[in-house]
């Protein structure tokens, strides 16, 4: 097994807008020159996100990260002489409230774009409207598979720009790591029977099909996969763990988000597992390590993907501005960093589109060249590629680290992982 080292881990009197035509009801605007939310002096954009209630520890810092970037850009005079104006509604993580907020942003406030679209239930409820209207939407704060599109076209998601990892893409990377990094000839997959688990399942099988086609061409035996499904709130997964371990697999993929992972890891440990387990970045935090470290007790390694590198030099710029907009210490808060990242991608598109800003010019600008994540790998949106971050790093659970995890592999593409 290779031991490459990872190199570490936001009164408004709404001015008259310039409107060339109105969105139709059949999938995008009637004209490629459509624009709203843009004046000679301002660009208006919006999102709804939960900044109160149980999701406040996520949504609050995320908004602060956005605000910090906005303050920085406006202090520099804006983008091509236009200041950024951000409209926000607290939707409480409720799909109905998110739908109402989006309708208001598009038809009443007439914003130019949606930036930092937040939360799985709200994204799922509003995504069809985003695609139908064609409004530029940058960054989805969730890994929900509905945003995954390998060939987005006009009227079919070309206006959307997912940035953070999307679960089907993660599943593909998991399969590549299993084959390329761990040399597996047999893979076990335990996945939840919810949307997230099904997205992981689809991604793993998609990539494994491609890997096995290449292996067949090289005269090699295909990699086997054994799967077991569980409810996200399952308490006992003895049967699922036994199904996987009785198949004598070389590596196990845990296709779930945070809620089910402790039960998966405890169930595997109870059944005597000794092979490595790979899971999603959403679970790679110190609280997860604290929950399961004693149960695992070093009997097997747990790995997770990573897409944010907190050692990048740009972190100091983030910390300088986040301190100006928040009374909390968010200098190392990953949710605040992702809000900063969302704004970075949006502003990059605005800069590239130039002074003649329309929906079409923005979309074309985002597709014109890869956009560099300040804290991670670049994303290429060319040719309708809407799959989120593709180059992921790998971290390993380590109870002795302050973060609960340690660097293991640097950012790599699937091709690099597979040695292609």
Residue boundaries of the structural domains of the chain:
42-165+310-389, 168-306+393-417
Q: For domain 168-306+393-417, which CATH number applies: 3.40.50.200, 3.40.50.2300, 2.30.38.10, 3.40.50.1110?
A: 3.40.50.2300
pLDDT tens digit sequence for 163-193 = 999 999 999 999 999 999 999 999 999 999 9
- Give me the pLDDT at residue 55, please: 82
Residue 288, both tokens: 């997860």
Cβ atoms of residues 162 and 388 within 8 Å: yes
Nearest 5°: phi and psi at 47?
A: -160, 165
99-154 pLDDT, tens digit each: 999 999 999 999 999 999 998 899 999 999 999 999 999 999 989 999 999 999 99
CA distance from start to end of the chain? 17
Kindly state the tokens that stand for 38.
């843009």
Q: Whole-angstrom Cα distance, residue 341 to residue 59? A: 14
Which of 21, 9, 4 lies closest to 311 in space, CA to CA?
9
Question: What pLDDT digit, counting tens, does each position of 295-326 carry?
Answer: 999 999 999 999 998 889 999 999 999 999 99
pLDDT at 298: 95
- Of 17-26, 172-181, 248-257, the poorest mean pLDDT is in 17-26
Give the pLDDT score at 258. 87
Question: How far is residue 241's CA from residue 1's CA, in Å, rounded to a whole number?
Answer: 24
Question: pLDDT category, 259, cuts 50, 70, 90?
Answer: confident
The CA-atom distances, in angstroms, between 110 and each of 27, 39, 84, 192, 360 are: 17, 12, 14, 39, 16
| Confidence class for position 8, pLDDT limits 50, 70, 90 | very low
Residue 14, pLDDT > 70, answer no
List, for residues 54-94, the tens digit of each pLDDT value: 788 889 999 999 999 999 999 999 999 999 999 999 999 89
Residue 38: band (very low, low, confident or very high) from pLDDT cuts 50, 70, 90: very high
Distance CA 405, CA 168 (A): 23
Tokens 């907009």 locate to 325
pLDDT of 401 > 80? The answer is: yes
Alpha-carbon distance of 49 to 65, in angstroms, equals: 13
pTM for this model (two decimals): 0.87
Residue 407 token pair: 């660097």
Query: The domain 42-165+310-389 is classified under which CATH number: 3.40.630.10, 3.40.50.2300, 3.30.365.10, 3.30.70.260?
Result: 3.40.50.2300
Residue 384, classified by CB atoms within 10 Å of its CB into exposed (0-12), middle (13-18) or buried (19+), is middle
pLDDT tens-place string over residues 287-297: 899 999 999 99
With H, G, I as helix, E, B as strand and everything else as coil, classify residue 175.
helix
Helix (H, G, I), strand (E, B) or coil at 381: coil
Do residues 319 and 331 touch, judged by C-beta distance below 8 A?
Answer: yes
What's the rounded Cα separation, in Å, for the pair 252 and 227? 10
- The answer to whether residue 4 scores a pLDDT higher than 50 is no
């Amino acid at each position: 097994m290779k031991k490459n080292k990872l190199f570490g881990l936001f009164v408004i009197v709404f001015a008259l807008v310039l409107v060339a035509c109105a969105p139709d009801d059949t999938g995008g605007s009637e004209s490629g020159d459509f624009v709203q939310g843009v004046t000679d002096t301002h660009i208006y954009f919006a999102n709804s996100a939960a900044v109160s209630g149980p999701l406040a520890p996520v949504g609050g810092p995320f908004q602060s990260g956005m605000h910090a970037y906005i303050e920085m850009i406006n202090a520099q005079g804006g983008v091509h002489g236009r200041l950024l104006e951000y409209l926000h509604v607290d939707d409480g993580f409720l799909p109905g409230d998110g739908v109402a907020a989006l309708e208001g942003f598009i038809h009443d406030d007439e914003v130019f774009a949606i930036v930092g679209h937040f939360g799985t239930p709200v994204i799922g409820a509003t995504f069809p409207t985003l695609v139908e209207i064609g409004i530029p939407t940058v960054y989805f704060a969730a890994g929900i598979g509905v945003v995954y599109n390998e060939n987005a076209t006009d009227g079919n998601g070309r206006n959307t720009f997912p940035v953070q990892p999307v679960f089907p893409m993660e599943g593909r990377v998991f399969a590549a790591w299993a084959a390329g990094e761990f040399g597996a000839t047999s893979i076990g997959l335990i996945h939840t029977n919810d949307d997230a688990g099904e997205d992981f399942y689809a991604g793993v099988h998609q990539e494994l099909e491609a890997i096995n086609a290449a292996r067949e061409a090289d005269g090699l035996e295909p990699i086997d996969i054994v799967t077991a499904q569980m409810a996200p709130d399952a308490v006992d997964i003895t049967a699922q763990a036994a199904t996987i371990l009785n198949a004598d697999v070389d590596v196990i993929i845990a296709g779930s988000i945070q809620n089910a992972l402790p039960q998966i890891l405890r169930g595997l440990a109870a059944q005597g597992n000794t092979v490595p387990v790979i899971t999603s970045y959403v679970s790679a935090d110190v609280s997860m390590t604290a929950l399961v470290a004693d149960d695992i007790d070093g009997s097997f390694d747990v790995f997770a993907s990573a897409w944010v590198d907190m050692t990048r030099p740009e972190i100091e710029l983030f910390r300088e501005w986040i301190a100006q907009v928040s009374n909390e210490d968010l200098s190392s808060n990953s949710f605040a960093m992702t809000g900063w990242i969302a704004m970075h991608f949006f502003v990059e598109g605005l800069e590239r589109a130039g002074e003649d800003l329309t929906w079409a010019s923005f979309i074309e600008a985002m597709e014109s060249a890869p956009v560099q994540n300040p804290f991670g790998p670049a994303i290429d949106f060319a040719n309708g590629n809407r799959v989120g971050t593709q180059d992921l790093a790998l971290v390993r659970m380590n109870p002795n680290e302050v973060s609960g995890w340690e660097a293991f592999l640097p950012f790599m593409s699937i091709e690099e992982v597979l040695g292609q």
